[in-house]
Structure 1
Amino acid sequence: MRRLFILAFGVASYALFVLAFLYLVAFVSNVQASALADALPVLRTWVPTSVDLGRSGTPWPLALGIDLGLIALFGLQHSAMARTGFKAWLTRRVPRSAERSVYVLASSAALLLLFWQWRPLPSPVLWRIPWGGGAALVLALCAAGFALVLAASFLINHFNLFGLQQVWLQLRGRTAQELEFRTPLLYRLIRHPIYAGFLLAFWATPVMTPGHLVFALGMSGYILLGARLEERDLVRVYGERYRQYSAAVPRFVPRPRHGWLRSGEAPARRARAH
């Protein structure tokens, strides 16, 4: 019964992540104001708030403070719970097989709280690309960013990253092993393709409002800090191997002139700390 409960908890946590991720796509792209919502009006019910639409009437300084606080809360939770010390503390209180699912659940809840309480700052518009080829290209870049996030997660074992593998293995009486440190495909070009995908998705918008700018800047700041914290943990675990990898491969943007790693050429990569 205990194993079944842990499995159910892991599946529920993953389902909440899927919901939060899909809402993030809709939130960033203001889907309820898009042509897609004209074709599927139910989207306006399913997505009541977005980065530029939703709660209104909050004074500008208060709205800015609330938005920054929500981003800070998400960043604090997301990074603090990923640290080795917190994981050690948590696994003394919950089964080790459920630790990742607890992290996924808390991260998804923090993100959903941000969506729920976000205060749009719609004016003045900082840039607007008229609808046409240019706007479509920018939206395609946004979609490509989210696709990159998913693709990169599957390259390093998506189901381990989000806790499903751990809870499934414990049901079968097995323990999930530490993933091999490797550099599959995208990880031979940049060290953080998941973060790079989010950066692309957050900044690729045909309409940039102050609210969207606050969201993009705040999340970008967290990503930069989170990448440094993650790499500090990886250096602690892998030492010189990870330092060599860091020296050979850029963080977010490929550098063709500096050469790209070939398969098996350099230290590999383990599952993400975040």
Structure 2
Amino acid sequence: MKKVLILIYGIIAYLVFLVSFLYAIGFVGNLFVPKSIDSGAEAPIIHSVLINLALLSLFAIQHSIMARPVFKVWFTKFINPAMERSTYVLLSSLILLLLYWKWQPMTTIVWETEAIASTTLMAVFFSGWFIVFLSTLMISHFELFGLTQIYQNFKNQSLTTPKFQVNWFYKLVRHPIMLGFIIAFWAAPTMTIGRLLFAVVTTAYILVAVKFLEEKDLKKIIGKDYEAYQKRVPMIFPFTKFKK
């Protein structure tokens, strides 16, 4: 019964992730959803900036702390290790849903495009999300979002460690998922102050977290193979000279 409950828990966590991911496309792009980045009543600018920064900071803190190996070791003393990734995914997704709900719109326009330029930027916007999705498939989508772990636990199998792989996009950049997010956040046919704040803060967080947290963890876990990979392939932006 316990393994069944863990399996159900992991599936629910994954479904919540799917909702938060799909909603993110509409939220950032002002498409299809009832509450987007530029919709709703506006508050005074200082109030909006503070609320939005607090929401983004909450996500960044949770996302960074729970991803660290030291935290995972401590956390799995209290929960089944098979649930660790699903819990991380679930909490990240719930914080994103909170961000969508409580985000304060700031709709002053920074730039606005029309006709071909607008259509092109929208195509680039969707390509960014497509890169994110494809990049998860190129490594281990189901392990990344906790489904592999709960399935192995359900089948009484030992939890496996994901293998270091350099496939497809990963031959161009070490973190194509993050590249996809950056493309999607900045490819705006109409850029408002609110979306610009979102793009600037999330991009800064991605660059800092990847370079100073995730890359260090990967070097410790993978070792010399990852160090060689760092020297050979750029971190996020393809065809750049600076690899690290």
- CA displacement 1:210-230 (0-9 Å, x = unmatched): 000000011111111221210
Q: Tell me which residue corresponds to 1:48.
A: 34
Structure 2 residue corresponding to 1:162, chosen from 140, 145, 168: 145
Q: Tell me which residue corresponds to 1:36.
A: none
- How far apart are 1:207 and its partner, in Å? 0.4
Structure 1 residue corresponding to 2:231, chosen from 234, 247, 253: 247
Contact persistence 1:101–1:162 (CA under 8 A): yes
- CA displacement 1:169-218 (0-9 Å, x = unmatched): 11111123111112011111100000000000000010011000000011
Q: Which amino acid aligns with 2:139?
A: I
Q: Tell me which residue corresponds to 2:165.
A: 182
Q: Distance in 2 between matches of 1:85 and 1:257?
A: 32
Q: Tell me which residue corresponds to 1:69.
A: 54
Q: TM-score, normalised by structure 1?
A: 0.85
Structure 2 residue corresponding to 1:224, chosen from 164, 187, 207: 207
- How far apart are 1:80 and its partner, in Å? 0.6
Segment drifting more, 173-182 vs 107-116:
173-182
Q: TM-score, normalised by structure 2?
A: 0.96
Q: Tell me which residue corresponds to 2:127.
A: 144
- How far apart are 1:58 and its partner, in Å? 1.4
Q: Which amino acid aligns with 1:216?
A: A
Q: Distance in 2 between matches of 1:93 and 1:29?
A: 39
Q: Tell me which residue corresponds to 1:41.
A: none
Q: 1:58 to 1:9 in 2, by over 3 A?
A: same
Q: Distance in 1 between matches of 2:111 and 2:148?
A: 44
Identity of aligned residues (%): 39
Q: Paired residues, what number?
A: 241
- How far apart are 1:16 and its partner, in Å? 0.2
- CA displacement 1:123-167 (0-9 Å, x = unmatched): 1x110001x221111011010000000000011110000001110
Contact persistence 1:79–1:226 (CA under 8 A): yes
Q: Which amino acid aligns with 1:50?
A: S
Segment drifting more, 8-17 vs 236-245:
236-245
- CA displacement 1:79-120 (0-9 Å, x = unmatched): 110001110111001100110000000100111111010001
| Aligned positions of 1:5-44 closer than 5 A | 5-32=5-32
Contact persistence 2:106–2:193 (CA under 8 A): yes
Contact persistence 1:97–1:175 (CA under 8 A): no
- How far apart are 1:242 and its partner, in Å? 1.4
- The DSSP-based 3-state class of the residue aligned with 2:174 is coil
Q: Distance in 1 between matches of 2:241 and 2:100?
A: 41
- How far apart are 1:256 and its partner, in Å? 8.2
Q: Distance in 2 between matches of 1:231 and 1:196?
A: 15
- The DSSP-based 3-state class of the residue aligned with 2:67 is coil
Q: Distance in 2 between matches of 1:85 and 1:221?
A: 24
Q: Distance in 2 between matches of 1:178 and 1:145?
A: 28
- CA displacement 1:18-72 (0-9 Å, x = unmatched): 000010000011014xxxxxxxxxxxxxx22111112x23111010100011111
RMSD over aligned CA atoms reads 1.3
Contact persistence 2:234–2:241 (CA under 8 A): no
Q: Tell me which residue corresponds to 2:71.
A: 86
- How far apart are 1:243 and its partner, in Å? 1.5
Unaligned runs of 5+ residues in structure 1 are 33-46, 259-274
Q: 1:27 to 1:100 in 2, by over 3 A?
A: same
